[in-house]
Amino acid sequence: MENNKFLTREGLKQIKGELDKRKKVLRKEISYAIKDAKEQGDLSENAEYSEAKSRETENEKRIAELESVLKNSVVVRKNGKSKKIDIGSVVKVKTGRAGERIFRIVGSNEADPISNKISNESPIGAALMNKAAGDSIEVEAPNGKIKYQVLGVENK
């Protein structure tokens, strides 16, 4: 179980959705593109065929990655009564540098810092795990240590 990654229910839904689209829609589109390119004749100098085969390879690689994530992941079910930060928690923090920020703690497969989804394995995420409102943490950053004060925790 140590090699398993964690997923929120939302992350599981997104991965299953992407996998389904790649298997049912993209595979079909790529198959038609390959068929059309083959009908054009000589494949050795057929850019459309090469592009379609490249897309096919990329799609199949991503399908394998997604299937591996699903096979090796544990879906975290939240206890809405818990006051502690865990995977799936929405956390409001205050820092002197950036003011107030809201993060969602997710598994590494779901991390998207631009959307404020941070991994439980990231420096900030790991430091926040098992903390509660009122707790403080310090995280080492390239520009020095950053102090965070946990203002609130929401567990859905």
CATH topology of domain 90-154: Chitinase A; domain 3 (3.10.50)
The residue-averaged pLDDT of 76-95 equals 86
The residue-averaged pLDDT of 102-121 equals 93
CATH topology of domain 5-75: Helix Hairpins (1.10.287)
Q: How far apart are CA 148 and CA 140, in angstroms?
A: 11
Task: Please report the pLDDT score of residue 1 as a whole number.
Answer: 37
Task: Please report the pLDDT score of residue 60 as a whole number.
Answer: 97
Residue 62's pLDDT band, with cuts at 50, 70 and 90, is very high
- Residue-wise pLDDT for 22-40, tens only, equals 999 999 999 999 998 888 8
Residue 129, classed as helix, strand or coil, is coil
| Extents of the domains making up the chain | 5-75, 90-154
Q: Report whether pLDDT(79) > 80.
A: no
**Which amino acid belongs to residue 51?**
E
Q: What distances in angstroms separate CA 81 from CA 68, 129, 154, 155, one per listed residue?
A: 32, 16, 9, 7
Find out whether 52 and 11 touch, Cβ atoms under 8 Å.
no
pTM above 0.95, yes or no: no
Task: Please report the pLDDT score of residue 4 as a whole number.
Answer: 64
Per the DSSP assignment, residues forming a β-bridge with 92 are 102, 152
